[in-house]
Amino acid sequence: MRVHDTAVPYIPVVIIGGGQAGLSVSWYLTRDGIGHVVFERYRRFQSWRENRWDSFCLVTPNWQCRLPGFPYQGDDPDGFMLRDEIVEYLDGFSASFDPPLHEGVSVTRVTPLAEGGYRVETTAGVWTTGQVVVATGGYDQPIVPPYASAIAPEVMQMHSVAYRRPSQVPEGGTLVVGTGQSGVQIMEDLHRAGRDVHLAVGPAPRSPRKYRGRDATDWLHAMGHYAITIDKHPDPNKALTQTNHYMSGRDGGKEIDLRKFALEGVHLYGSLAGAKGTALQFLPDLEKNLDDADRSYCGIRDQIDAWIATQGIDAPVEPPFQKVWRPEQEVTEIDCAALGITSVIWAIGFRPDYAWLEADCFDAQGRPVYRRGVTQAPGLYFIGLGWLNTWGSGRFLGIDDDARYLAQQIAANAQVGAQAAE
């Protein structure tokens, strides 16, 4: 029989994180009458409100916005919502069911109790709970390499999380480091503003946008690609560690070919490897990284071609891919002062921070271990992470399925707990 400390208030379920993932679980628990509370250290949907640049828009089409009970209902399902439109959509979702959300409350420590359940310490007090859902995402700590501290102080440094618009960046050249979705879109934002842009090209893959009459994501959805679960994926380790394919939703959606940007004057280098003063060193992997990105791009086109052929679909034929530019030589070192580079924008990702969670649910590298978000620690769950179950798990497309599944597990666990307490 569980005995709770009557001096500490008890809540059946605590959800940590008031973004779309945490509130999706809350939607199901609210529907099913399961008592819970959501703690959000800032404001609901904080990262969408505050951590996106002015021209930010979705990379996936609007029709993929399928939060519980609140699918996209606008007049442009094949378009790509801008930042403020995303926030409006999310606020509408939250208002649709009025979640028990406590904003401005940071969870500082979660520890298991000997009698079962967890002690949750927050900046607003202490609670005990039977079950905990971690919905904090993986964007806690912006990644900056150790050698960043060796860059001369006259070169301004900024992480992508702080970037809003070109006017933030001092006059002169800007080096954008990283070619995930943030890096290439910030690069384009600066380039369109007429700025002198340098880009350190990493190993991120790229994707077609429109191909053979449809958006590539539409084809992949029809092919069942997004329904593949991580346990059925042919290369699960690659799925879990690979950077997202880069493309853009800007101007109605388009693909990004870095070779074309090179023709327009963007300076491309390989992966940034070191720095001292105003000198920056790069690996000689620019051409390899461009080729690998194109290989991914062509591979997706090939999959779509095969699907079209197998299904007998009448679709327009497109010309084969051609490389419009290649580096004449690999530049492995530059001097910022000589080239007029006055700023560096780091777009190399984030790390999660689970230092506050004292539970036996992590591997040797500190990564949470779970199956469909359910850990081996009783009553402890994760949601909102990439490939929690499918490709869409960290996106608007798959959160509903993940939240529904976790709500079912929470309800079953609560019933077992109630029977044990009788």
- Between strands 350-351 and 197-200, the pairing is unpaired
**pTM of the predicted protein model:** 0.94
Tens of pLDDT, residues 23-42:
999 999 999 999 999 999 99
Contacts of 163 (CB under 8 A, 6+ apart): 53, 186, 345
- Enumerate the H helices of 122-263 as residue ranges: 181-192, 216-222, 236-241, 258-263
Tens of pLDDT, residues 90-120:
999 999 999 999 999 999 999 999 999 999 9
Average pLDDT across the chain, whole number: 95
Please report the pLDDT score of residue 239 as a whole number.
Answer: 85
Tens of pLDDT, residues 150-200:
999 999 999 999 999 999 999 999 999 999 999 999 999 999 999 999 999
What domains are defined for the chain?
10-140+352-421 (3.50.50.60), 142-346 (3.50.50.60)
**Distance, C-alpha 188 to centroid of its chain:** 19
Q: What is the pLDDT along the chain (422 residues), one digit of tens a residue?
A: 344 555 799 999 999 999 999 999 999 999 999 999 999 999 999 999 999 999 999 999 999 999 999 999 999 999 999 999 999 999 999 999 999 999 999 999 999 999 999 999 999 999 999 999 999 998 889 999 999 999 999 999 999 999 999 999 999 999 999 999 999 999 999 999 999 999 999 999 999 999 999 999 999 999 999 999 999 998 888 888 888 899 999 999 999 999 999 999 999 999 999 999 999 999 999 999 999 999 999 999 999 999 999 999 999 999 999 999 999 999 999 999 999 999 999 999 999 999 999 999 999 999 999 999 999 999 999 999 999 999 999 899 999 999 999 999 999 998 655 544 44
200, with CB counted inside 10 A (0-12, 13-18, 19+), is: buried
H-helix or E-strand containing 113? none
366, with CB counted inside 10 A (0-12, 13-18, 19+), is: exposed
Contact 61, 78 (CB under 8 A): yes
- Residue 292 sits at the vertex; the CA angle it makes with 291 and 298, to the nearest 5 degrees, is 85
